[in-house]
């Protein structure tokens, strides 16, 4: 690697570190503002927009922007490398954005619970079980595509895709597992703490996802494009991303 390439890589890494620091600081400020608004009892009125769980609130809008950013960056990565697994990962984030924005799993989950007369199980209501069913159905197609295209990708791309899987698994942990624990805990102090952990954890993991994919895009853009644009470009670009 030439001195110029090393310098460019250092500048890119510095910018990404700064971007992550800014995103993380914004996440922590939003979490702190939500906790303070909850403490003061500002669950209604003009202060409600600061609550993590408020529909259409500032934290939720920030999460939407990061989901859209991840999808766009992954599509850019797919366009540059022609590795289909990146398009499949973009579809995962696009589905998450549509589900969050339109409240698909809440609304359709309620319908499923009514149609199937799902019973309450332990502390989980039929609505909660219906939401889990819808989560599974919504996630199946893009995740199947991810698995299939991951297996067909060269080793360097699979390594990058595994990193993406770890980030998405962390996001799903907060969005599904902690969400259901929150439902079980109710509205007491533990339930409120789990609500902050759920929504705050999602915000932070989305910041990690944006910066991870941004780092991949930056690495690929430092890779010279072969004149014939053949599939070897994918392995070369992904190898740089690994490094």
Q: What is the pLDDT of residues 178-188, one digit of tens each?
A: 987 887 887 78
Tell whether 35 is covered by a domain. no
Tell whether 215 is covered by a domain. yes
Exposure string (b/e) for 165-202, b if CB count within 10 Å is 16 or more?
A: bebbebbbebbbebbbbbbebeeeeeebebbbbbbbbb
Read off φ and ψ for residue 121, nearest 5 degrees: -125, 110
Tell whether 149 is covered by a domain. yes
Number of domains comprising the chain: 1
Query: What's the confidence (pLDDT) of residue 224?
Result: 56
C-alpha separations of 134 from 105, 110, 121, 166, 183 in Å: 5, 10, 17, 22, 16
Owning domain of residue 181: 60-242
Tokens of 5: 């390439």
User: pLDDT tens digit string along 18-54?
Assistant: 999 999 999 999 999 999 988 887 766 677 888 998 8
Averaged pLDDT of the chain: 80
Tell whether 84 is covered by a domain. yes
Tell whether 80 is covered by a domain. yes
Tell whether 19 is covered by a domain. no
Tell whether 50 is covered by a domain. no
Q: Identify the band that residue 232 occupies on the pLDDT scale cut at 50, 70 and 90.
A: very low
Q: Which residue has the higher pLDDT, 135 or 84?
A: 84
Tell whether 158 is covered by a domain. yes
- The percent helix, strand, coil of the chain (3-state, each to 5) is 85, 0, 15
């Amino acid at each position: 690697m030439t001195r110029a390439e090393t310098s460019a890589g250092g500048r890119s890494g510095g910018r990404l570190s700064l971007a992550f620091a800014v995103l993380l600081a914004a996440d922590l400020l939003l979490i702190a503002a939500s906790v303070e608004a909850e403490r003061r009892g500002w669950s209604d009125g003009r202060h409600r927009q600061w609550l993590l769980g408020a529909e259409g609130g500032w934290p939720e809008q920030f999460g939407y922007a990061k989901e859209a950013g991840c999808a766009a960056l992954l599509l850019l990565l797919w366009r540059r490398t022609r590795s289909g697994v990146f398009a499949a990962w973009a579809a995962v984030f696009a589905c998450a954005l549509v589900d969050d924005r339109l409240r698909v799993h809440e609304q359709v989950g309620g319908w499923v619970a009514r149609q199937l007369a799902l019973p309450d199980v332990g502390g989980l209501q039929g609505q909660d079980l219906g939401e889990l069913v819808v989560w599974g159905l919504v996630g199946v197609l893009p995740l199947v595509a991810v698995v299939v295209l991951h297996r067909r990708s060269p080793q360097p791309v699979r390594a990058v895709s595994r990193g993406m899987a770890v980030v998405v698994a962390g996001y799903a942990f907060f969005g599904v597992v902690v969400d259901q624990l929150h439902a079980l805990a109710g509205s007491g102090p533990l339930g409120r703490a789990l609500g902050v952990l759920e929504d705050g954890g999602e915000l932070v993991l989305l910041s990690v996802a944006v910066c991870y994919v941004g780092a991949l895009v930056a690495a690929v853009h430092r890779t010279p494009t072969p004149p014939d644009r053949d599939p070897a470009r994918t392995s070369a670009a992904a190898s740089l991303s690994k490094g």
